[in-house]
Chain A
């Protein structure tokens, strides 16, 4: 039966998921447009160092928002998949810890990239 003492009510978790999903619909569309043929560039030109650098620095805040939204939404989604699959209690604890560690690593790398540039 459901555990009585979950730290965070699952609904807050899902509110976060829905909110980040709605943000990502706009921000990710923008990101995909930047690497789409609508920019008038070929595939190799899009991966040019200067173009990537220019985009990352010019739209720093947008990419920061996307990074945080995508990492939190994505890893939370992965956590949901895993806690359904590995539903034994001690696995759930391990899943939560691994997800938090992964989240910290990815956000650290991403934030570092955006700040240093």
Chain B
């Protein structure tokens, strides 16, 4: 199988071809590892978990940004593979891109729990309660592994590097939708900017390429809706009051829950 890789050594860029033996069940990352072990040890790429949960091996495979560890050769249905570094990023070497801007954008939307009373975060009386129904409103966007693939697919990021990007906006919505969070007003000051949420025109490419099904495009559209609601009707995202959030301690004379049965049915 022929593999074409876009190389970059800090000065010049070129395409390099490799001939590798590969089974259809091999992943693209397996092929890259084989090249580095057997043929060319100067080839640079990121990898860590090899199972689609760290988000290190994002690259453009046959023109579509994807995780190399999750793409099998058989799925591609092509004679040869074309590998490029992620679009819209500065390339450091070969398939390794500079994720600094990406991480800074993520940080700029304050991706953490904001409470009006910060003491609640330091010393909460008990745990913060979230019902399964409330959890379902944001847990999808919590699955983000920060692989940066969505920014490589986004048409706005391609022309506007100041745009926050699907990942940061999706994460902003994940915290805004969280009933424990109270930082809506603080966050929309950042999001409602000339390079913020409104530069998304719903091309949906981010959701299309997302390897974890996070669907950032949906989060951004909901974010727009929430911001419009806030501006026009002054309606804030419904956040639960602290009194409801704090789980009440059980009364002292409450019956004890039955001990959990670890026995597996039918024996081990």
Contacts and interface: CB of A to CB of B under 8 A. Distances in A.
B82 interface: no
Please tell me the size bucket of the interface on B.
20 to 34
B164 interface: yes
Interface stretch (B29-37, B121-129, B188-196): B188-196
Interface in B171-203: 190, 192-196, 198-199
A12 B198 CA distance: 11
Contacts of B164: 2
A10 B192 contact: yes
Contacts of B231: 9, 11-12, 15
A10 B196 CA distance: 8
Of B192, B194, B224, B231, chain A has the most CB atoms within 10 Å of the CB of B194
A39 to B, nearest CB: 35
B161 interface: yes
B83 to A, nearest CB: 29
Interface in A6-28: 6, 9-15
Interface in B72-125: 104-105, 108
Interface in B155-172: 156, 159-164
Interface of B: 104-105, 108, 156, 159-164, 190, 192-196, 198-199, 224, 227-228, 231-232
List the 8 closest pairs (A to B, CB-CB), nearest first: A2-B193, A84-B160, A10-B198, A87-B160, A11-B192, A11-B231, A85-B159, A87-B162
Interface of A: 1-3, 6, 9-15, 80, 83-85, 87, 92
24 contacts: A1-B104, A1-B105, A1-B108, A1-B162, A2-B194, A3-B193, A9-B231, A10-B193, A10-B194, A10-B196, A11-B192, A11-B198, A11-B227, A11-B228, A11-B231, A14-B198, A15-B228, A15-B231, A83-B194, A84-B159, A84-B163, A87-B161, A87-B195, A92-B194
